[in-house]
Amino acid sequence: MTNPLLDTSSLPRFGDIDPDQVMPALNELLAAHRQTLSHLLEDYDDPCFESLVVPLEAMGHTLSRVWSPISHMQSVKGSPEWRAAYEKALPVLTEYGTELSQNEQLQQAFVRVDEKLGDTADCAQRSMVQQALRDFRLAGVDLEPGAKARFKDIMQELAAVQSRFSNNVQDASDAWSLVITDEGELAGLSEQVIERAGAQASEPGTWKLTLDFPTYHAVLTHAEHRPLREALYKAWSTRASDHGDPAYDNSENIQTILKLRAEKAKIVGFNNYSEYSLARKMADTPEQVIEFLRHLAESCKEAAQREIDELTEQAGGPIAAWDVSYELERLKQNRFAVSNEALRSYFPVDKVIDGLFDLASRLYGLKLSRREDIDTWHDDVLFYDVSDEGGDPIGGFYADLFARSGKRTGAWIDECVCRKRLGGDESLPVGYLVCNFTPRDANGRSFLTHEEIVTLFHEFGHMLHHLLTTIDYPSISGINGVPWDAVELPSQFMENFAWSYDVLERCSEHRETGQRLPRDLFKRLDDSRHAGAALAMLRQIEFALFDFRLHTEFEGDDFDVLALLDEVRDEVAMVSHPEYNRMPHAFAHIFAGGYAAGYYSYKWAEVLAADAFAAFEEAGIFDAQTAARFRTEILEIGGSRDFMEAYVAFRGREPSIDALLRQSGIEAA
């Protein structure tokens, strides 16, 4: 019987695949690919785009389709077997990828193809070949054998230690819990949160709080009992550190990751990992990034100081890190008479999804419909087909929206299938959209806070970027080949629509009355939008500046990561953190994800997104021509064009930070 992981004739057969099939599938596929590559390079003396690049694209697409469910299942299943299979497969896949990118004969074949294409070639073909040549260089294809072998070893070691970092964060989160025996300590929490805590407890009359994000966020924002907020804050901010179970401590992993990255960058001729990282981004130099972050920070500091002064006055004294979200929520209630929990009652998740799909229809003419006959990995997971206004299929996506034990925290999208049209062979894009919202209650209902709606819109923006591409080559279709500091533009852009009454009204239906969101309540929400905006901006700048300075300044020999964090906080933070805070130990974005020396991308993309949305505000936020231009110039192009050129084609000029400052209620310094 054929290994179901190798069946790429349909969507993944989640009901049939199991961890034991992972290594046989990869070994068989990679052996076939190595043989195919050998045959392709027999025509090494006279390669062309069709004879070399197109078959390689097809191979990469097949490998992506086989690997996608493997990677996905270890993130969402919480199964030791899937994790073990993933960790066993990762070095095999890493070795194959490095082997390709260090193949000198293959690189020279691409050089010949590039020469043949010339300046008049198809833009997408040129971009794909030039990105491939860049990646050969970044992988050390020209290195002498010893250095090349060391680079290969570094890639293997990094893959393993980054996976270990991520696992430690998840395991430390899953291992922690707090049992409450006095219901009075839960004052301020919603009925939904308390009901779930009671259901998780083993003894009647007790409540068990865990470190899933919905619970953590609810406690920090709404719990009146200050010691409870501090307990959750301490547990969250010390995850996977020297303040917890030594088995999950990421201290050594952080040093190893930084050391390996620095060595990797220097082997191929860069001074530090930040320079290496920028080779695939819009920014040119580390100095440019740091100047951007510091300029943005200076523009926010005066407003942030006013905000912290207001919160301190309201609290009647100095506030700690575990008080900020709570006092901000009180401020919104006191000044604007708006409560996140009161708003939550208006937003059942199914109605929010309906409103989101309605927005996609209004902007881009899309039709989204639920499909019942698709195999999934959990009963909560839904699948949606996406078609254009004429009914022609565009693609589809899975939606896995609710938190559960073992599932990776946070929210993200990933590729299941990339768009491909090669030699008459066609695949439409399919993705995974994953969040961690509060699970459905006993009545099958889940209600979202406005912040969670913003998160859902953000991830859906990424999904549209994946689905709406018109590029036929998988390596540069959708989000592939897009500069990392531009890839957040479509997602940040979509967040703006979660602040439109016309959109939110269509997402709402009160849990008891069925009433739509009243306009006066929306106005109070909108008036509260800027509450804490400058503090939130500085918090993200803190993360970004720490990440970038860390990867620029790291020198090895037990570099003091926490001392650097203190320096960054002294420069830009308005909120002090206790000595025990170990933020880096759970900073998976940079130590286990794709944001190393790139976390600034969120702020740069916010600049792009605010500036882009300003074009919609000028024309009307549902203006068909503006939406069509955004779709054509931004969402459809993948990595086929220079991104700044594409942005200028949409906006008519380069972006400015002014729109972001205005949108955040902050005047430029």
Q: What is the pLDDT of residues 154-190, one digit of tens each?
A: 999 999 999 999 999 999 999 999 999 999 999 999 9
Residue at token pair 């912040």: 451
pLDDT in tens, 504-531: 999 999 999 999 999 999 999 999 999 9
CA-CA distance, 25 to 3, in Å (whole number)? 7
Q: What end-to-end distance do the CA atoms of the chain give, in Å?
A: 67
- Identify residue 605 by its one-letter amino acid code: A
% of the chain at pLDDT higher than 90:
92
CA-CA distance, 32 to 88, in Å (whole number)? 20
Active-site residues, by number, are 459
pLDDT at 1: 57
Burial 165-182 (b: 16+ CB within 10 A, else e): bbbbbbbbbbebebebee
Choose among 658, 597, 540: nearest CA to 272: 597
Burial 442-472 (b: 16+ CB within 10 A, else e): eeeebbbbbebbbbbbbbbbbbbbbbbbebb
pLDDT at 43: 65
- Paired tokens of 184: 């009075």
Q: How far are the Cα atoms of 48, 106, 227 from residue 113, in angstroms, in the given order?
A: 5, 11, 65
Does position 550 have pLDDT exceeding 70, yes or no?
yes
As beta bridge partners, residue 427 has 420
- Which H helix or E strand runs over 155? helix 145-175
pLDDT at 556: 83
Q: What is the mean pLDDT of residues 635-664?
A: 94
pTM, rounded to two decimals = 0.92
CA dihedral 319, 325, 328, 333 (to 10 degrees): -130
Q: How far are the Cα atoms of 12, 336, 417, 491 from residue 413, in angstroms, in the given order?
A: 16, 34, 12, 11
CA-CA distance, 267 to 263, in Å (whole number)? 6
Q: How far are the Cα atoms of 190, 195, 436 from residue 342, in angstroms, in the given order?
A: 9, 17, 20
Q: How far are the Cα atoms of 106, 298, 375, 419, 552 from residue 371, in angstroms, in the given order?
A: 43, 49, 10, 20, 48
pLDDT at 45: 75
Of the listed ranges 84-93, 368-377, 553-562, 585-594, the least confidently predicted one is 553-562
- The 3-state DSSP class for residue 396 equals strand
CA-CA distance, 260 to 562, in Å (whole number)? 19
- The 3-state DSSP class for residue 384 equals strand
Contact of 253 with 168, CB cutoff 8 Å: yes
> Per-residue confidence at 669, pLDDT binned at 50, 70, 90?
very low
Contact of 158 with 264, CB cutoff 8 Å: yes
CA-CA distance, 43 to 53, in Å (whole number)? 12
Does position 405 have pLDDT exceeding 90, yes or no?
no
pLDDT in tens, 54-79: 999 999 999 999 999 999 999 999 79
CA-CA distance, 544 to 602, in Å (whole number)? 8
Contact of 124 with 640, CB cutoff 8 Å: yes
CA 560 to chain centre: 27
Nearest 5 degrees, angle CA 408-CA 601-CA 325? 60
Nearest 5 degrees, angle CA 326-CA 190-CA 665? 40
- Which H helix or E strand runs over 13? none
Does position 221 have pLDDT exceeding 60, yes or no?
yes
CA-CA distance, 305 to 297, in Å (whole number)? 12
CA-CA distance, 55 to 42, in Å (whole number)? 14
- Which H helix or E strand runs over 329? helix 324-336
> Per-residue confidence at 120, pLDDT binned at 50, 70, 90?
low
pLDDT in tens, 229-281: 999 999 999 999 999 999 999 999 999 999 999 999 999 999 999 999 999 99
Contact of 272 with 286, CB cutoff 8 Å: yes
- Paired tokens of 69: 């469910």
Main-chain dihedrals φ then ψ at residue 404, nearest 5 degrees: -160, 160
CA-CA distance, 555 to 516, in Å (whole number)? 57
Choose among 271, 468, 253: nearest CA to 365: 468
CA-CA distance, 465 to 172, in Å (whole number)? 33
Contact of 139 with 101, CB cutoff 8 Å: yes
- In terms of Cβ atoms closer than 10 Å to its own Cβ (0-12, 13-18, 19+), residue 507 is buried
CA-CA distance, 17 to 85, in Å (whole number)? 12
Q: Rg (Cα) of the chain, in Å, rounded?
A: 25
How do strand 393-402 and strand 177-180 relate by DSSP bridges? unpaired
Helix H, strand E, coil C: the string for 398-419 is: EEEEECCCCCCCCCEEEEEECC
Query: All domains of the chain, ordered by start, with CATH?
Result: 4-101+103-138 (1.20.1050.40), 176-239 (no CATH), 248-338+533-599 (1.10.1370.10), 349-527+602-663 (1.10.1370.40)
Secondary structure (DSSP) of 95-138: HHHHHHHT-HHHHHHHHHHHHHH-TTS-HHHHHHHHHHHHHHHH
CA-CA distance, 293 to 545, in Å (whole number)? 7
pLDDT in tens, 308-331: 999 999 999 999 999 999 999 999
CA-CA distance, 511 to 344, in Å (whole number)? 9
Cβ contacts of residue 453 below 8 Å, gap of 6+?
Answer: 347, 352, 498, 504, 507
Contact of 346 with 452, CB cutoff 8 Å: no
CA 334 to chain centre: 34
- Paired tokens of 366: 């899309």
- Identify residue 401 by its one-letter amino acid code: L
Contact of 155 with 98, CB cutoff 8 Å: yes
Helix H, strand E, coil C: the string for 44-83 is: CCCCCHHHHHHHHHHHHHHHHHHHHHHHHHHHHCCCHHHH
